[in-house]
Amino acid sequence: MITRERAIEALQAERFDLVVIGGGITGAGVALDAASRGYSVALVEKADFASGTSSRSSKLVHGGLRYLQNFDLGLVREALLERQLMVKLAPHLVTPLQMVVAAFEGARPDRIMGIGLNMYDVMATPALRGRRSARRAVQLAHRSQRVNGDEPEPESDWSPARHRMISGAEVVELLPALTEREPTGGYLFYDCQTDDSRLVLTVLGEAERFGAICANRLEVKELLGGRGEGSGVKVIDAETGEQFPVRGANVINATGVWADRIRPEELHSEAEVPKIAPSRGTHVTVAYSDLPLKAGAIVPAGEGRSIFALPWLGRSLLGTTDNNYSGDIDHVCPSPEDIEYLLDATNKFFGTELGTDALTGAYAGVRPLISSGDTRKSVDISRKAELYETSSGLITITGGKLTTWRRMAKLAVDRLVERDGRDAPCRTHDIPLGQPIDVDRLPRIDGVPEDSYEALAARYGHAAEQVLAVAGEDPELASPIVAGHPDLLAEAAFSARYEQARSVGDVLLRRTRLGLLAAPELRAPGGVAPARVARATGRELGWDAARVDAEVERFDREAQAEGIPVR
Ligand SMILES: Cc1cc2nc3c(=O)[nH]c(=O)nc-3n(C[C@H](O)[C@H](O)[C@H](O)COP(=O)(O)OP(=O)(O)OC[C@H]3O[C@@H](n4cnc5c(N)ncnc54)[C@H](O)[C@@H]3O)c2cc1C
């Protein structure tokens, strides 16, 4: 990406066809979609890119088996098609994941689950849709689909195998953590997994390739005018306090859970803007050695609910909770009750005794669920995306899922195109997201541990070559940020230079994911990692020694506000 300074210069000097508010996955998707259809696009993010919900998900690119229970067939099918497309467009970043539903004491795996998995297969696999029963399921799905896909179905090298029953021995092989409980069988099915904040950064990078100008730490304070000459937004720069207009003929509000806070002065009716009902979801991570998983597991959590236990970046990720939330949405903390709930369910299922001293990380996020005014629990509210338009022209797109970002973006930009009477079809189903690279082709740099190459290739694709070039500039940059983890100090310098990282938290929470995976090391008294990151970032951004110290302290405050655990 271009530097923040250059982006701000361009934002102040130019007038754009479209200003996008919000740098989560939805805003990034809107910027890519609009820019690739020929619009000039500005995107402004009030904090860091992906610092909202888009760095706090379960990291699944999935149809969502659970939504079948609510007969949200359209949503499931749409998400399954997107899942397949994402593996094709970003094969390094969105990867297939085996998922297991285990059974014990000779019991048949749950039949209702089997029926759900059958529907899941049918909706996901074009070849299976020829059959009559399958056709019926797909017709139903089409009928309830709100976001119409007028695109060809994705063709991908990856097509998930059908779910199947597996033996107890196979369950143990995939979920070694269950060894003691001696499972007797189970179901195996497939979903996909990603690194959510890296997906956002990758989509933003592609948007920039099509000419979009994106900058973080610019908060929209006011909407300017309607759709005429003076239209656009007024932003405040969080680093300098300066306020300035970003001029744009159209504005799309993609601020997720903040979406109902952006309102034009005049509204004809409240139905022109969404009303958000935030729901908090907490996750924790533990060491692989404490809960060894090679595949994901569906873990019963009581009252018909379940959580996931997933292998992720060398750790085991447990989540999520799903409860109505009315607290501060700028810093969402995992609550002690939520953590206890996750550990209880995990311990009961795996027969472990994990306590809070086993945590290697914890985080929480809020879902941008749309309130329909009913009193249903948040788990039962649909994850469908909704589009709103005010009489003054502001388009808001919110709700949805990480998985369906591309469809959400298309929905919003289609509306813009229709309004403008342009002939500009969506192209994002054909735009690769980054470029995969063969690990063996990466140049070897002295001091870089062997397992870092694979991690870099998965995170950056081809751009891993650039990260390694930075690592080659100084032996210290070639070393890991935290011993035993593959993330290199070079990534701090790289992300400050090329990804608008502006703080230690940006590097540790969203460029690398060490804040979620190595919390005790980062927060230990006298720990050196945050200071090393501050020095490497500061060299790029011109910080003096006092500023480096201040940034380390700032990270500590941020980590505390985010509830990142200390041991
Ligand atoms: C616990 C949990 C687990 C989930 N798991 C999954 C999953 O596994 N798979 C899946 O598909 N989906 C999942 N989701 C849903 C998914 O994460 C969200 O739907 C998605 O990330 C929302 O993205 P967004 O861009 O709309 O919102 P956000 O990511 O929140 O982005 C909105 C951005 O707007 C910015 N902003 C707000 N106000 C302003 C302003 N005035 N000016 C400028 N910028 C502003 C914010 O700082 C923020 O960065 C999960 C959600 C949660 C909470």
pLDDT tens profile 358-401: 999 999 999 988 876 655 555 556 678 999 999 999 999 999 99
Q: Is the pLDDT of residue 149 over 50?
A: no
Residue 224 near residue 234, CB atoms below 8 Å? yes
The band of 144, judged by pLDDT with boundaries at 50, 70 and 90, is very low
Q: Is 217 in the pocket of ligand 1 (CB under 6 A)?
A: no
Q: Is 335 in the pocket of ligand 1 (CB under 6 A)?
A: no
Q: Is 254 in the pocket of ligand 1 (CB under 6 A)?
A: yes
Here the tokens at position 561 are 């506000």
Cα 400 from Cα 516, distance rounded (Å):
24
More confident residue, 508 or 123: 508
Average pLDDT in the 444-451 region? 97
Does domain 439-561 fall under CATH 1.10.8.870? My reply is: yes
Least confident piece of the model among 9-13, 123-127, 199-203: 123-127
The band of 416, judged by pLDDT with boundaries at 50, 70 and 90, is very high
Same fold, 4-54+197-276+377-430 and 439-561: no
Give DSSP secondary structure letters for 193-218.
E--HHHHHHHHHHHHHHTT-EEESSE
Tokens 């102040």 found at: 12
Which residue is closest in CA terms to ligand 1's atom 15?
A: 401
Q: Is 320 in the pocket of ligand 1 (CB under 6 A)?
A: yes
Closest of 126, 15, 110, 27 to residue 395, by C-alpha: 27
More confident residue, 532 or 67: 532
Q: Which of 48, 53, 331 to mutate to test the pocket of ligand 1 (most atoms within 8 A of CB)?
A: 53
More confident residue, 245 or 71: 245
Average pLDDT in the 176-201 region? 97
Q: Is 367 in the pocket of ligand 1 (CB under 6 A)?
A: yes
Reduced to 3 states, what is the DSSP secondary structure of residue 26?
A: helix
Cα 253 from Cα 363, distance rounded (Å):
26
- The angle, 0 to 180 degrees and rounded to 10, between the axes of the packed helices 111-124 and 132-143 is 80
Cα 16 from Cα 43, distance rounded (Å):
10
Q: Which of 33, 83, 258 to mutate to test the pocket of ligand 1 (most atoms within 8 A of CB)?
A: 258
Percent of the chain with pLDDT over 70: 92
Tokens 């992906």 found at: 50
Average pLDDT in the 538-563 region? 97
**Bond from prior residue into 184 cis (ω within 30 degrees of 0):** no
Ligand 1 centroid to Cα of residue 258, in Å, is 9
Contact residues for 270 (Cβ-Cβ < 8 A; gap 6+): none
Q: Is 253 in the pocket of ligand 1 (CB under 6 A)?
A: no
Which residue is closest in CA terms to ligand 1's atom 31?
A: 24
Q: Classify domain 4-54+197-276+377-430 at the CATH superfamily level.
A: FAD/NAD(P)-binding domain (3.50.50.60)
Least confident piece of the model among 118-122, 135-139, 514-518: 135-139
**pTM (2 decimals)?**
0.94
Percent of the chain with pLDDT over 90: 80
| Residue extents of the structural domains in the chain | 4-54+197-276+377-430, 439-561
Q: Is 278 in the pocket of ligand 1 (CB under 6 A)?
A: no
How would you class 265 by CB atoms within 10 Å of its CB: exposed for 0-12, middle for 13-18, buried for 19 or more? exposed
